[in-house]
Amino acid sequence: MTSTSQDWAFFGRRLVQTGNLNHNDTLFGGTMLAWIDEEIYIYAKCQLGNQDDMTMVTARFGEINFRAPAFKGNIIEFGMKTKNLGRTSITVDVLVRNKSTHCVICEVHDVTFVCVDPETMKPIPHGCLPED
């Protein structure tokens, strides 16, 4: 991801708190990835029409690059943009930055969510047509 942060749409925000810290007193990477997963799920659902009966699962996390630490008291925000819209899937790139300094904390390439049948867990079309 070589684009600047103004190319991104920033949505969710989180406050880094004591319970989110690792042994170095910085945001634990696993917590960051869980937050990213949740934020992308919300973004993807909204991009696909926010259908209450749509079941989506995380299918893939691509390359993950931690760039800078986040500390207790930091507010971080999640920038997302749709990279690809398939028949059953949506792929998103993510940029996480410090809200006040705009310092990039983490980048994740190619996070893919797939729409599935809730009973069989087999991929099903999401019903949104890719843009031409």
| pLDDT at residue number 3 | 52
Assigned token pair, 55: 């079941």
Cα distance between residue 93 and residue 73, in whole Å: 25
pLDDT tens-digit map of 29-66: 999 999 999 999 999 999 998 788 889 999 999 999 99
| pLDDT at residue number 132 | 40
Residue ranges of the chain with per-residue pLDDT less than 50: 1-2, 132
| pLDDT at residue number 130 | 59
CA proximity to 33, closest of 105, 116, 114 = 105
Angle at 67 between CA 65 and CA 70, to 5 degrees: 115
The CATH number for 9-116, chosen from 3.30.460.10, 3.10.129.10, 3.30.70.100, 2.70.170.10, is: 3.10.129.10
* Alpha helices per DSSP H over 18-61: 29-47
CA proximity to 96, closest of 124, 126, 74 = 74
83 CB contacts (<8 Å, ≥6 apart)? 91, 92, 93, 110
| pLDDT at residue number 30 | 97
| pLDDT at residue number 93 | 97
CA proximity to 71, closest of 18, 27, 23, 15 = 27
Q: Is the pTM of this model over 0.85?
A: yes
| pLDDT at residue number 5 | 55
Contact by Cβ (8 Å): 105, 66? yes
| pLDDT at residue number 102 | 95
Residue ranges covered by each domain of the chain: 9-116
| pLDDT at residue number 99 | 97
